Structure 1
């Protein structure tokens, strides 16, 4: 199988980066951005701006009847996932491969329940430092997608097919041997970085240097390391070092989506991060005081948000 068409659900920071890259490399008609009528009209009227340039993507209504896409990428927030699944139904066929760039460690199973796990590859988006305000996105590092089966010691046909597309389009990617460990590592990073930047109202620069925010971030990440050992993932200090090195390369003026949500008075994905850590801590008898503090602090900060 060769991938000829790509569909993207969600036009936030990640969705915009991906739509731009694929549209620059493929025929615009082979790249579909799934959007309902009101969003489609807004995008067509106002445009989407990325690093100063306007992009008018190929917007496709969810109800449009057409040939299934070859590659479907989910780029929405977790609380938008149920609607995104419904919006994507006409895009999925027998041979569609699906990637989820959502935060957390549970979206693959949710999407797989709707469309079949045989269509899913596990996926982690990392290294992006994009900031999106309204219809304008700016970034220095587009990062990469890490994807694959849970065990990639030998690549499956699906993994090979996606890798061949990404090679052709110069799309940055990695296929880790252990996707479970990479996903938990990104979960660890998000739990530390996203929440700390939000609580301390700072940016990546505020946690790239020594100080209280960085200390809180690392403490929250170490709680996830302990939790990982209880579920058989076994993160360690080398994984912490790897993700701190990823963090060090981000634009200091950039900020994660949780901080951007805070600035826009939007509810955050705190349940995916400290919420998950606290639940797992109770399940396995692991103390998570830093994540509990972060969770309650963010809940308090966003109590009046929509």
Structure 2
């Protein structure tokens, strides 16, 4: 007997959503890709996506039968995954809200804490915390460098439906949680260094973590975020494969500094050539998401009266780099 799944659409194709598309494609789960303009529609029609997973195998994904124009589609969906930058979220939600069923939900897989931007939509949002890294090698080629989980949690604080595990595993391990904020803040802290600090210095992860001064700055960044998290009483939830901010950040519960340095060195060696998304944005002269990563930390710290000078420096430096482009 054939299993029937909720209807799924994806709006915005990028490195993260392509990894999810790959899992759906491999599991033969029906899905639609909502194209916002004719040029994108035509490009995806004519050019299959080439995806290389951590096992090294390259798969060509034909999307012809999955494509539709957002403004022309008459279907309504149970779930719409939104794959865009934080600064474009409002626009994407406005364009797709008519395509959600009355009890349908968006899935926001952006960095930072996007749920805070749309609290009026709280009942219609599932947050997705991504634990893998996928890079764009060329216009139609993507490379996933590590296996990582997708952590899904309702913005209102409950666990999403268990069918997500069935449709994405084994290609993407899925964790369902009722503690989304704990995972969000953990990933925000990690992104503050691998994206924020790396972009401020315009370095690959190898260049960042194999330099002692940069490691010191990374640990200072995490220590400030740990202080903010503790003041907000955020119960940290660690993304699988990562290390607790409570242990990396200075102060109570911290690991010895030499061990923290060793962890960062090992990360630098493992992902030596990786230039993370915000670094790539600066490389391509695109506006970054800095306001939603380290900028989020700075804003919360100001509300709490906490000094976060290292995070402030990162925000200031990246904005200077954006203006200089």
Please confirm whether the aligned pair reaches a TM-score higher than 0.5, indicating the same fold: yes
The alignment partner of 1:252 has SS state of coil
The alignment partner of 1:21 has SS state of helix
Is the CA contact (8 Å cut-off) linking 1:147 and 1:179 kept in structure 2? yes
1:80 to 88, 99, 124: 88
Q: Distance in 1 between matches of 2:193 and 2:271?
A: 17
For residues 132-164 of structure 1, give each alpha carbon's deviation from its aligned partner in whole angstroms, at most 9, with x where no partner exists.
443321222242211124697xx65x3334334
Is the CA contact (8 Å cut-off) linking 1:150 and 1:178 kept in structure 2? no
1:95 to 81, 99, 103: 103
Q: Please identify, of 85-94 and 202-211, the stretch whose mean Cα deviation from structure 2 is larger.
A: 202-211
Q: Distance in 1 between matches of 2:136 and 2:40?
A: 20
Q: Distance in 2 between matches of 1:74 and 1:151?
A: 18
The alignment partner of 1:123 has SS state of strand
The alignment partner of 1:73 has SS state of strand
The corresponding residue for 2:267 is 248
Task: Give the gaps of 5 or more residues in structure 1.
Answer: none
The corresponding residue for 1:191 is 192
Distance 1:61 1:284, change over 3 A: same
Q: Distance in 1 between matches of 2:98 and 2:303?
A: 38
Q: Distance in 2 between matches of 1:151 and 1:111?
A: 12
How does the TM-score come out when normalised to structure 2? Answer: 0.80
Q: Distance in 1 between matches of 2:93 and 2:86?
A: 11
Q: Distance in 1 between matches of 2:313 and 2:138?
A: 28
Is the CA contact (8 Å cut-off) linking 2:152 and 2:175 kept in structure 1? yes
Is the CA contact (8 Å cut-off) linking 2:206 and 2:273 kept in structure 1? yes
What number of residue pairs does the alignment pair up?
296
The corresponding residue for 2:253 is none
Q: Where do 1:130-149 residues align within 5 Å?
A: 130-149=135-154
Q: Does 1:223 align with 2:224?
A: yes
The corresponding residue for 1:56 is 62
The alignment partner of 2:275 has SS state of coil
Distance 1:111 1:22, change over 3 A: farther
Is the CA contact (8 Å cut-off) linking 2:126 and 2:154 kept in structure 1? yes
The alignment partner of 1:225 has SS state of helix
Q: Does 1:39 align with 2:46?
A: no
Q: Distance in 1 between matches of 2:144 and 2:204?
A: 14
The corresponding residue for 2:55 is none
Is the CA contact (8 Å cut-off) linking 2:294 and 2:314 kept in structure 1? yes
Distance 1:38 1:83, change over 3 A: farther
Task: Give the gaps of 5 or more residues in structure 2.
Answer: 53-57, 238-242, 250-259
Q: Distance in 2 between matches of 1:95 and 1:165?
A: 20
Q: Does 1:3 align with 2:5?
A: yes
Q: Distance in 2 between matches of 1:163 and 1:211?
A: 41
The corresponding residue for 1:108 is 115
Q: Please identify, of 289-298 and 247-256, the stretch whose mean Cα deviation from structure 2 is larger.
A: 247-256
The corresponding residue for 2:124 is 119
Q: Where do 1:139-288 residues align within 5 Å?
A: 139-149=144-154, 156=159, 158-167=160-169, 170-176=171-177, 178-209=179-210, 211-233=212-234, 235=236, 238-241=244-247, 248=267, 251-288=271-308
